[in-house]
């Protein structure tokens, strides 16, 4: 099969017999789906490395993909090669033992230096593919945030953030930041057209990068830490 985006720069950060940690490029879809067409997904790429699994099991159907990143988000992902590793890592995510940190440039400035957002996220009632703050408390998502540095682009103020999701809802960081009126720069879904057009003048894509991942190795139990610098397409935008 010929894939239309097989030149995307997917990097292996770490690999052993149990798992692989990769640095996913922006624009690459994580999970296989009918809508992906001939685009190379992380799941498809990983097939050659994975232990053959029963397609009727979760491990088999998801192809070792333990968690995911949005197509527009770059950064660190851990993939399980075996069902044992998959179940162990999945439990760590569910029990909030995994530490995830993201770099995000958002609109506006903050009076406080840190905070916590705890609000439920549900599918948008009117717009397919979009999510919004909801009322179902069983779907509560929790995000810790820290304001780091201030930037200005074309007289628009921005703040570099460190975002730490305690949960893993779809579009969680994007929806939470939008709700507190600090949407992420160049977000094609949650910015209005005027804001998006202004951002795309200097920023080529969603300014969101999974920069830090920490978990217990599923076999040795050793605490493992991985970090990824901002990719060049984002770091170049910060140069004055």
Pairing of β 156-165 and β 114-123 = unpaired
Sign of torsion over alpha carbons 182, 187, 188, 190: negative
Within 13 Å and on the Cβ side, how many CA atoms surround 97? 15
The CA distance from 190 to 132, in Å, is 10
Judge whether 216 counts as a catalytic residue.
Answer: no
Residue appearing with tokens 């990719």: 231
* Beta bridge mates, 39: none
Asked if 184 and 72 touch (Cβ cutoff 8 Å), the reply is no
The CA distance from 232 to 85, in Å, is 32
The CA distance from 104 to 212, in Å, is 13
Within 13 Å and on the Cβ side, how many CA atoms surround 132? 9
Active-site option among 18, 70, 187, 199: 70
Q: What tokens does 120 get?
A: 């439920």
By annotation, the residues acting in catalysis are 70
């Amino acid at each position: 099969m010929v894939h239309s985006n097989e030149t995307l720069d997917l990097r292996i950060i770490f690999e052993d017999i149990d798992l692989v940690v990769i640095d996913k490029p922006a624009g690459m879809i994580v999970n296989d789906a009918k809508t992906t067409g001939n685009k190379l997904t992380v799941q498809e790429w990983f097939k050659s490395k994975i232990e053959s699994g029963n397609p009727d099991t979760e491990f088999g159907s998801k192809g070792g993909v333990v968690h995911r990143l949005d197509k527009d988000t770059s950064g660190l992902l851990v993939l399980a090669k075996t069902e044992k590793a998959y179940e162990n890592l999945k439990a760590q995510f569910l029990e909030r033992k995994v530490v995830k940190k993201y770099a995000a440039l958002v609109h506006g400035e903050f009076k406080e230096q840190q905070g916590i957002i705890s609000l439920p996220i549900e599918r948008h009632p009117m717009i397919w593919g979009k999510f919004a703050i909801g009322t179902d408390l069983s779907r509560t998502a929790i995000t810790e945030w820290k304001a780091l540095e201030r930037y200005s682009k074309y007289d628009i103020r921005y703040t570099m953030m460190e975002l730490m999701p305690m949960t893993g809802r779809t579009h969680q960081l994007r929806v939470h930041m939008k709700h507190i009126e600090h949407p992420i720069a160049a977000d094609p879904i949650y910015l209005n057209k005027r804001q998006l057009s202004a951002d795309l003048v200097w920023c080529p894509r969603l300014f969101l990068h999974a920069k830090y991942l920490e978990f217990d190795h599923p076999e040795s139990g050793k605490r493992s830490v991985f970090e990824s610098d901002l990719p060049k397409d984002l770091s170049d935008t910060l140069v004055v």
